[in-house]
Amino acid sequence: MRFTETELRGAYVVEPEPRQDMRGFFARLWCEREFAALGLHARVVQVSMSRNLRRGTVRGMHMQLPPSREAKLVSCMRGRIYDVIVDLRPGSPTYLRHFAIELDAERHTALYIPPGMLHGFQTLEDDSEVLYHMSDFHAEHLAFGARWNDPAFGILWPESPQIVILPRDAEYPDFDSDAYLARVAGATARCAAGE
């Protein structure tokens, strides 16, 4: 696999190196040793998928708050998606900046998302399927979300007029950086105190 770090430190584009022959190809999509060698979360505890029936479907923007250390490896197994992450790590030099990449079933490229980043995507084709490898178990009480089109992030989505989205994801209030940082600081302090 080839790992290329994005402008958001710790987030990587991961490209398989397929071996082709007359049958097709074989490619490794995950290797604990290769991820660990880069200092990335190499433990996978959950693998999930989403099937998205219509082009223009948005899932996100979601993440897990501390004490979760959830990292994700996201790939598109069918169709095409516009995958986006937003850096919400307190103290990060790229705080509130985003990175976007098109993932598709032809190239099999994946995006490694470190803890502390919002993640979401928009489908660019009908019947797109997305595969997620996660390094921590989902905890509903640690779930955090922000609106896909929040002006704080400045994301330009390719299919804006044709959005298919859950009301919950469309109705998040405007992102409040001070409130978010206070919430993360409180959770981190409770963790440190053993609560």
> Considering 62, 95, 108, 138, which one is annotated as catalytic?
62
Cis peptide before 61 (omega within 30 of 0): yes
Determine how β-strand 117-123 pairs with β-strand 80-87. Answer: antiparallel
Q: Cβ contacts of residue 183 below 8 Å, gap of 6+?
A: 65
Q: Cβ contacts of residue 23 below 8 Å, gap of 6+?
A: none
> Considering 95, 132, 172, 180, which one is annotated as catalytic?
132
Known active-site residue 82: no
Q: Cβ contacts of residue 75 below 8 Å, gap of 6+?
A: 29, 103, 108, 109, 110, 111, 130, 131
Give residue for tokens 């409770």: 190
Instruction: State the Rg of the chain over Cα.
Output: 17
CB 75 within 8 Å of CB 131: yes
Q: Helix, strand or coil for residue 181?
A: helix
Known active-site residue 180: no
Q: Looking at the annotation, which residues are catalytic?
A: 62, 132
